Chain A
Amino acid sequence: MIFLLDILTATLRNATPLVFGVVGETYTERAGILNLGIEGTMYAGAFFGFAATAVTGSLELGILAAIVVGVASGAVMGLFSVTLGTSQHVAGIGLTLGLIGISEFINRLYFGSSEGLRRIESYQLLEPFGPDNIFNQYALTYIAFLVVAPLGWWVLRSTSFGLGIRAVGENPEAADAAGLSVSLYRYAALMIGSALAAVGGAFITLATLGTFTLGIIAGRGWVVIALVIFGRWRIWRGVFGALVFAGVFSLQLRLRILPGWDAVPFELLLALPYLVVIAALAISGRNVEYPGAYLKPYRRD
């Protein structure tokens, strides 16, 4: 029982960065843009969030720095994929490589001393509550599940802005003819989506780890991309996917140290959550209806 509760607690924590990413990436993809820059954006969010806190001592400024970096990387993605009409694959991969490179470069310049990792005073867990204290989480986790996901869902469904996002992603010609600015909506979706992804990255440095290490995002951005498709561009299904992934991830972490499981190569256990995502995609990914204008730049003439 304790074992299960422990896994549940860890699942919610490990799902947090994914939930930020899934909500954000759902917005950009519903607007018709596959943002492969998200891996780099999460990475840069983790690093610049950490760096700002390390310099100023303020966690709030760390989050703010992540948001600024996120908005900026969304704008760069917009410049290439919306304004210049570059292939979204090329622009996104390039952005990821660039952001990881910049983050590591600055990290080496300012935090690359030989004395080991620079640590910050990170977010503390909130007062635990609930039966057996299962709700023992960071504030950002509550924000992800109780604010970002429901608000993101509601805005997409019930506001004029959300209707516009869906329209430019399904049929930009129609949105244009109806008097909406396709680029404005696409930039907005990219900036919002990337800001959320960056905060998701910053959660890892500012809450769970309290430091920045190379390779810290470890493919979570790619997992988010898969989860958005698994969720068929619905926020709640994507969040559910994030919980499944984080659940398997937390389970295998604990299995590794459980007696009797040492016979199983730990690489296999490590691969388990990714295999689950692949299997889920293979099963649920058939016949999915992509947003109508997915991957397509919009040009009038």
Chain B
Amino acid sequence: MTAAGDSPATPVVELRSISKRFGDVLANEGVNLSLWGGEVHGVLGENGAGKTTLMRILYGLSIPDGGEIYVDGDLAHFASPKDAIGAGIGMVTQHFALVRPMTVTENIILGRTGGAILDLDRAKDLVEEAADRYGLHVEPDRRLSDLSVGEQQRVEILKALYRECRVLILDEPTAVLTPQEIRALFATLDRLRASGMAIVFISHKLPEVMELTDRVTVLRHGKVVHTVETDEVDAAGLASWMVGRPAAPPEPRTHSEPGATALEVSDLSAVGGLDLPALSDVNFEVAAGEILGVAGVSGNGQTELAEVLSGMRKPTAGSIIADGTQIAGKGPKQVIAAGVGRIPEDRHEALVGDMSVANNLILEHLDEAGKRLILDRDRIRANALDLIERFSIKAGPDDLVKTLSGGNIQKVLLARVLVREPRVIVVSQPTRGLDIGATAYVRNELLAMRRQGAAIVLMSEDLDELLELSDRLIVLYDGRIAGRVDAAEADRDQLGLLMAGHTEVA
């Protein structure tokens, strides 16, 4: 690690004209990037801009088609992460690369055990020492599968530090954290920066980049748009570089008077994947013309709640009255018939990728698509053309769904659900992985349904999205409602505490 105060004449790492192609997609094209000791370098770009690809190349996980990597001014070749680690590079990948059944210590020392025979006691001491030095609290003996996402991230950072990295890459580290955890992460990164480390901070959240970074590189369609000192730009400027045009201001949320209760959930309990309790005694109501946001760190019952509300999972207790009909324990077909529409978390699971757009659009309405067993092709096609037009889906009726972009796939789903004008809509992570344009479209569509009097339950891991769209919020923690907040009065810190399980502040 270089000492702070040194002003090195060469960057620690320099990437020169890096290119990488996947099939028809140029994920990186002629990318130049230099990283200096003691700086936090933001890499900003929309989904699909090529940020992850670039960092995987720097970490040896991906071999570039062209370009060079220089470490301390010398040309380097990274055939695998082993080489990159040897050059002092560490990476916290977006989906953590941790072995869940193993302990914190085992994960940290993996690949750097310092001898043929494991000395776990000594390793534990080393891990604790590193944890103390960097203020990253972990419990060395716990299994990874028992840790929260924030704790897992600390383990990942420690893993890189344990390997004595001089360059630390963090790929969208804040996407899964509560506001408090984000603050703790930033404090850690400040300390590491002060110690002379070069840090790459990948994000598509502008306020974070503005707050934390010293310099920013903006990527669009695999190319560098600009690299600037963070002080010299503002968020609006960065946004327009990201999307390639001035960013449209979000449509203001109009005030609407909620109507009668359209969804009433009482004493709802359900079990999750391994027969563990996933929801306990959940109570809430949603009025017509209202959006109820469901906040929480992922894995606290949101998935199960969405499944139970849409008939995909049977509750163990409780009642769900949608538009006057009891739907608890009913199957998806009856739930749809009761006027509930579902936009699930996993788009690919809800659509058949190998089937055409037209066929996917009638999947939930097969009864209307033809008399008895024979499908009426002309009607299916007419239906598709109509919906493609209304929801501005950029695809033809015969295109296979798997060839569509994420945004258009989401529009197909929206179209299929919204065309039935459901009274109740259960929607999970509606904009995850979408670009700015598609995100705005989807959000406006949800607001339009609200204006038309639908009762909407919105689950999202994106707190900004929840605050922007919801009228009221509930926070799930460990399958229970940890708090209820009016969106207009919601404060991010309070929400963060609730998400971390501190019920008493409510």
Task: Check if B419 is an interface residue, CB within 8 A of chain A.
Answer: no
Task: Check if A158 is an interface residue, CB within 8 A of chain B.
Answer: yes
Verify A163–B118 contact, CB threshold 8 A.
Answer: yes
Interface string of A161-192 (1 = CB under 8 A from B): 11110110011011111111100000000000
Verify B100–A170 contact, CB threshold 8 A.
Answer: yes
Residues of A within 8 A of B96 (CB): 174
Verify A181–B80 contact, CB threshold 8 A.
Answer: yes
Task: Check if B117 is an interface residue, CB within 8 A of chain A.
Answer: yes
Task: Check if B342 is an interface residue, CB within 8 A of chain A.
Answer: no
Task: Check if A114 is an interface residue, CB within 8 A of chain B.
Answer: no
**A179 and B99 in contact (CB under 8 A), knowing A159-B117, A163-B118?**
no
Q: Which of A160, A163, A174, A176 contacts B80 (CB 8 A)?
A: A176
Interface string of A39-77 (1 = CB under 8 A from B): 000000000000000000000000000000000000000
Residues of A within 8 A of B93 (CB): 173, 177
Q: Which of B85, B116, B163 contacts A159 (CB 8 A)?
A: B116
| A287–B276 alpha-carbon span in the complex (Å) | 13
Task: Check if B61 is an interface residue, CB within 8 A of chain A.
Answer: yes
Verify B62–A300 contact, CB threshold 8 A.
Answer: yes
B108 nearest in chain A by CB position: A178
Verify B100–A292 contact, CB threshold 8 A.
Answer: yes
CB distance from B483 to the nearest CB of A (A): 34
Residues of B within 8 A of A159 (CB): 116-118
Verify A170–B111 contact, CB threshold 8 A.
Answer: no
Most buried by B among A164, A170, A177, A179: A177
Task: Check if A301 is an interface residue, CB within 8 A of chain B.
Answer: yes
Tell me the chain B residues, 50-81 only, with Cβ under 8 Å from chain A: 59, 61-62, 80-81
Residues of B within 8 A of A301 (CB): 22, 62
Task: Check if B106 is an interface residue, CB within 8 A of chain A.
Answer: yes
| A108–B496 alpha-carbon span in the complex (Å) | 75
Verify B97–A166 contact, CB threshold 8 A.
Answer: no
**A158 and B82 in contact (CB under 8 A), knowing A177-B61, A178-B110?**
no
Interface string of B20-55 (1 = CB under 8 A from A): 001000000000000000000000000000000000
Tell me the chain B residues, 103-125 only, with Cβ under 8 Å from chain A: 106-107, 109-113, 115-118
| A158–B163 alpha-carbon span in the complex (Å) | 21
| A181–B83 alpha-carbon span in the complex (Å) | 11
Residues of A within 8 A of B81 (CB): 176-179
Task: Check if B126 is an interface residue, CB within 8 A of chain A.
Answer: no
Verify B91–A170 contact, CB threshold 8 A.
Answer: no
Verify B82–A179 contact, CB threshold 8 A.
Answer: yes
Residues of A within 8 A of B113 (CB): 160, 163
Verify B106–A163 contact, CB threshold 8 A.
Answer: yes
| A292–B102 alpha-carbon span in the complex (Å) | 11
Residues of A within 8 A of B101 (CB): 170, 289, 292
Task: Check if B411 is an interface residue, CB within 8 A of chain A.
Answer: no
Q: Which of B61, B102, B118, B159 contacts A176 (CB 8 A)?
A: B61
Verify B117–A180 contact, CB threshold 8 A.
Answer: no
Task: Check if B98 is an interface residue, CB within 8 A of chain A.
Answer: yes
| A300–B118 alpha-carbon span in the complex (Å) | 28
Tell me the chain A residues, 165-224 only, with Cβ under 8 Å from chain B: 166-167, 170-171, 173-181
Those 5 A-B pairs whose CB atoms lie nearest each other, nearest first: A178-B111, A177-B97, A174-B97, A160-B113, A179-B82
A-B contact pairs, 30 of them (CB 8 A): A158-B117, A160-B113, A160-B115, A162-B118, A163-B102, A163-B113, A163-B118, A170-B100, A171-B99, A173-B93, A173-B97, A174-B96, A174-B97, A174-B98, A175-B99, A176-B80, A177-B59, A177-B81, A178-B81, A178-B110, A178-B112, A178-B159, A179-B80, A179-B85, A179-B163, A180-B82, A181-B80, A287-B274, A292-B100, A301-B22
Given contacts A162-B118, A179-B80, A292-B101, could you give 7 more A-B pairs where the C-beta distance is less than 8 Å? A161-B116, A164-B110, A171-B99, A171-B100, A174-B98, A178-B97, A178-B110
